[in-house]
Every structure is written in C-alpha cells, then in structure tokens.
Homo-oligomer: A and B are copies of this chain.
Amino acid sequence: MNHHSYFFFYLVVESLKRNKPKYKQIVDAAVVVIAENGYHQAQVSKIAKQAGVADGTIYLYFKNKEDILVSVFREKMSIFVENLQKILGADVSSEEKLYRMIENHFRVLHSDHHLAIVTQLELRQSNKDLRHEINNVLKDYLALLDRILAEGIEQGEFEKGMDIRLARQMVFGTMDEIITSWVMNDQKYDLMKLAPNVHRLLMKGMKAD
C-alpha cells in the first residue's frame, strides 16, 4: 500500500469513527463480542479490538469493565423504553397498547440476534452488583408497563381488583421466558408470529370460555 492509498484508507476509517463516536463504537463492539464469545470470554482486549481502539482508550470512556456492561444494557434498553413511550402516547385501547408492547419487545430482539443473546443469556451471568444495576435500568421499562395496566383498570378494560405487580410480573415473566426459550433453541422458529397468541393468553387466560 503506498502512502496515498494509506491516506485515503485512513480518511475512510476516520470518518467511520467520527460518525460513530467512540462511546457508541465500544458499546456496539461489546454486544458483538459478548454475543459471540460469551460473557466470561468477553475480555476488555477483545472488545477494544472489535471496536478498533486500543485497550486504554476504553478507559477514557468507561470507568471499568462493569461500566461497559451496564452501558450496553442501558443503551439498548433505551430502545425498548422509547418505543414503549410512543406506544403509550397512541390513541388506542389499553389492550391494544399491551399488544403493541409485546410485539415491540419481540421485534427488537428478533431483529438483533446478537442483542437477544446478550440480554437473555449472557448478561444474566453478571455478578449481583451488576444485576442490581441492570434491574435499575429495567425499572423504567416496567414502570411504563405498570402505566398501561393502571390505565386499563381505570378504563374498565382490565379486571378491576387486579394486583398490578402480579400482572406486571406475569406479562414480563411470560415474555422473558418465551424469548429465552427461543434464544436457547437457537432462534429456530419465528418469534414474531407468537405475539398474538401470547397477547390472547395474557388477556383471557387459559380457561376455556
């Protein structure tokens, strides 16, 4: 490679970097590395290499390794939260909002296999401290789910005396278990197609009419 081609190569690489600030670059690299190597094999050096930066550069943007992992969760979770906020703002029934939530939850993970592996399998191997951090991030999401449920009760769509915490745990626990199974089965079947049935089960339960 002569020094001209090096120069242009440099420009391309640089503009890629500039368009994706290093912070995002590293977070995205972490998702890929964790998904492909597993949580315990996701060394900082691997993440750095994947991000195209030096090991030390990581520490200009993150306090420590745990900080990277929490950031991964926070950054990606914000996709769910933002979508859910839009759904909440829509002028539709609570039942429809719940449906859209399930559908959104499934779609985001369906469309990003790496992310699905990371959130459903890998990040759960983190230690208790990190898991508490992750739970804090989750709280925002679950608070929005609670709002759907509360509004549904208010509008008479959902069972009047329903325990919101239990209902939330049923909705989230169900979605989570279904997605984890799907990931552990190597994402063989079409997750999206399950949404209507899941929604129906949650709304009307298992009892025959």
Render A92-118 as a binary contact track against B, CB cut-off 8 A, 1 for contact: 000100000000000000000000000
Q: How many copies does the complex hold?
A: 4
Q: Report if A174 contacts B (CB, 8 A).
A: yes
Contact assessment for B184 and A178 in the assembled complex, using a CB-CB cutoff below 8 Å: no
Render A139-171 as a binary contact track against B, CB cut-off 8 A, 1 for contact: 000000000010010001111101101110110
Contact assessment for A208 and B135 in the assembled complex, using a CB-CB cutoff below 8 Å: no
- Bound together, the chains give a CA A135 to CA B209 distance in angstroms of 33
Chain B residues closer than 8 Å to A204, beta-carbon distance: 159, 204-205, 207
Stretch in contact with the other chain, from A45-53, A71-79, A120-128: A120-128
Q: Could you say which of A95, A125, A204 has the most chain B C-beta atoms within 10 Å of its C-beta?
A: A125
Chain B residues closer than 8 Å to A133, beta-carbon distance: none
Minimum CB–CB distance for A96 against chain B, Å: 13
Nearest neighbor of A171 in chain B, beta-carbon distance: B206
Chain B residues closer than 8 Å to A173, beta-carbon distance: 173-178
Contact assessment for B208 and A158 in the assembled complex, using a CB-CB cutoff below 8 Å: yes
Contact assessment for A177 and B170 in the assembled complex, using a CB-CB cutoff below 8 Å: yes
Q: Which 7 A-B pairs have the closest CB atoms?
A: A173-B177, A205-B205, A173-B173, A204-B205, A170-B174, A169-B177, A173-B174
A-B contact pairs, 11 of them (CB 8 A): A132-B184, A157-B208, A159-B207, A166-B194, A166-B201, A170-B201, A173-B174, A176-B177, A177-B177, A203-B206, A204-B207
With contacts A156-B208, A162-B201, A162-B206 known, what are 5 further pairs, Cβ within 8 A?
A121-B131, A163-B194, A167-B201, A169-B177, A173-B173
